[in-house]
Amino acid sequence: MRNKLAGAFILLLVIGLVTSIACAPAATGKPAAEKPAENVVITIGDLPNLTGAYAATQSCYVESNGGAVALANEKNYIPGVTLKYEWVDAATDPAKAMTAYKKLLAATPRPAVIIDHSTAIGTALKQTAAADKIPIVEGGVSNEILIPPGWVFYYGSPYPCEAGAYADWFKSQWKESRAPRFAALTWDLPYGRAWITDESMAYIKSKGFEIVGQEFIPAVPSDTTPQLLRLKDAKVDVCFGAMYPSALAVVLKDANKLGMIGTFTWGGVYAVNLIELVGYVGPLANGCTVTSTDILPTMWKEKAPLMQENWDKNGAKLAPATQFAFANAAERVVIGIGAIKSAVEKVGAKNVDGQAVYNALINMKNFDPWGTGAPITFSETKRYGQDTVFITQVQNEKAIQLGTARVPDLLPGGKDVPAK
């Protein structure tokens, strides 16, 4: 009897699974605002990493991106068009992301653009997106993504270039006569290693830095003491890296145990959410600096009212510390929306597809992403959007924007790469 019951249970489970897959309707995120029936529906796909190593920072992405799409519909941003937002969790795993990407392609209508938020996944999708003719607006970057130019468009500045901008800024603040000692302290992932290139290291060295080491920490670190001890022995003055605040918090706590807080400065790429970091480690975050792609949330009311409205409507169930990441993600969707608008103006709403949006992206010049960041410019040969960054630092447990910095061109063959 027990065997039959267990067997029946498992059989029902299997049947339920198969039936659910077969009958599952196309899932949507936030419902679009009511629009007249004659509007053309254009889909924007999204691959947020809601589980896995990136989950802590990207947990707000559906709210931010879905909210941006809903706001665009509400404001009739693209007349005659209703934007539809579809999301699937990419799980910080390229293999799962590929399945998620294929599920997005099965949406009706087919997405005209897909937003992604991971260097590894963007690298993995580059060839596939080109074959499927779907442009991807990407939040992660590596030389592999940018060169040769393909169908992946990175919205910010390449990480090697951000490292160069940080080095320029740090050197301008350096008061001592000796060369500052520089080391990499970064995630052992494509995202973490992407800024370490021959060009960026040559540039940093040419600016008078002494390179004293490279330390890599795992995606979910529990103890970074070995790496920090080596840096302590090297008497490092400044570290640069790419990781999320959840990992950096572990580093700073370990550095505090070793008495290293105040002996070196940590700088990072844009994706390090300083507000989130302060939430984790409080005063230990003081001095941490990032080359940010966005203005601070405190500036939204004045400079980015649409982003403020998006946060007011959709940020209620999110932690305040996620505001920074909220704007990061929404900026990418806004670029996608802007490209769709250009495509609609050029070919008409009914003819907008991946190719039309791709054409719009490569012709995008000085596009304003709703005031949240520097203007976005792509071209036939350029697949990154921003040429300036905001230097943002934690002071007295608050994120302060110190100013903007020019981003040197440190891609292979770039004009700022030092001659050998």
Contacts of 148 (CB under 8 A, 6+ apart): none
Nearer to another protein, 131 or 419 (CB): 131
User: Considering only residues 45, 48, 354, 371, which one is a binding residue for another protein as defined by CB under 8 A?
Assistant: 48
User: Considering only residues 77, 86, 295, 352, which one is a binding residue for another protein as defined by CB under 8 A?
Assistant: 86
Helix or strand holding residue 240 (H, E): strand 238-241
Helix or strand holding residue 326 (H, E): helix 323-347
User: Considering only residues 17, 41, 220, 402, which one is a binding residue for another protein as defined by CB under 8 A?
Assistant: 17
The 3-state DSSP composition of the chain as helix, strand, coil percent (nearest 5) reads 45, 20, 35
Q: Does 142 bind another protein (CB under 8 A)?
A: yes
For the beta sheet containing 81-87, the strands, ordered from the edge strand earlier in sequence to the opposite edge, are 81-87, 40-47, 111-116, 136-138, 152-154
CB 86 within 8 A of CB 111: yes
Instruction: State the distance between the two ends of the chain, measured CA to CA, in whole angstroms.
Output: 80
Instruction: Tell which phi-psi region holds residue 388, choosing left (phi > 0), alpha (psi between -120 and 50) or beta.
Output: beta
Q: Does 24 bind another protein (CB under 8 A)?
A: yes
User: Considering only residues 181, 193, 332, 341, which one is a binding residue for another protein as defined by CB under 8 A?
Assistant: 193
Nearer to another protein, 120 or 357 (CB): 120
Q: Does 55 bind another protein (CB under 8 A)?
A: yes
Q: What is the dihedral of CA 169, 170, 171, 176, to 10 degrees?
A: 150
Q: Does 98 bind another protein (CB under 8 A)?
A: yes
User: Considering only residues 32, 67, 89, 238, which one is a binding residue for another protein as defined by CB under 8 A?
Assistant: 89
Q: Which stretch binds another protein (CB under 8 A): 96-104, 157-165, 230-238, 333-341?
A: 96-104
Helix, coil or strand: residue 378: coil
Q: Does 61 bind another protein (CB under 8 A)?
A: yes
Q: Where in 78-220 does DSSP place strands (E)?
A: 81-87, 111-116, 136-138, 152-154, 181-187, 210-217
Tell me which residue has tokens 């290291």: 201
Q: Does 111 bind another protein (CB under 8 A)?
A: no
User: Considering only residues 72, 73, 87, 243, which one is a binding residue for another protein as defined by CB under 8 A?
Assistant: 87
Q: Does 102 bind another protein (CB under 8 A)?
A: yes
Q: Which stretch binds another protein (CB under 8 A): 26-34, 235-243, 297-305, 401-409?
A: 26-34
CB 239 within 8 A of CB 212: no
Nearer to another protein, 159 or 209 (CB): 159
Q: Does 318 bind another protein (CB under 8 A)?
A: yes
Residue type, 76: N
Site string for another protein, 362-401 (x = CB under 8 A): ----------------------------------------
User: Considering only residues 72, 114, 146, 194, which one is a binding residue for another protein as defined by CB under 8 A?
Assistant: 194
Q: Does 148 bind another protein (CB under 8 A)?
A: no
Q: Does 310 bind another protein (CB under 8 A)?
A: no
Token pair belonging to 20:
């659910």
Q: Which stretch binds another protein (CB under 8 A): 10-18, 155-163, 299-307, 334-342?
A: 10-18
For the beta sheet containing 289-292, the strands, ordered from the edge strand earlier in sequence to the opposite edge, are 210-217, 181-187, 238-241, 265-268, 289-292, 388-395, 398-406
The residue ranges that bind another protein (CB under 8 A) are: 3-4, 6-7, 9-11, 14, 17-18, 20-21, 24-25, 27-31, 48, 50-51, 55, 58-63, 66, 86-89, 93-96, 98-100, 102-103, 105-106, 120, 123-128, 131, 142-144, 188-190, 193-194, 317-318
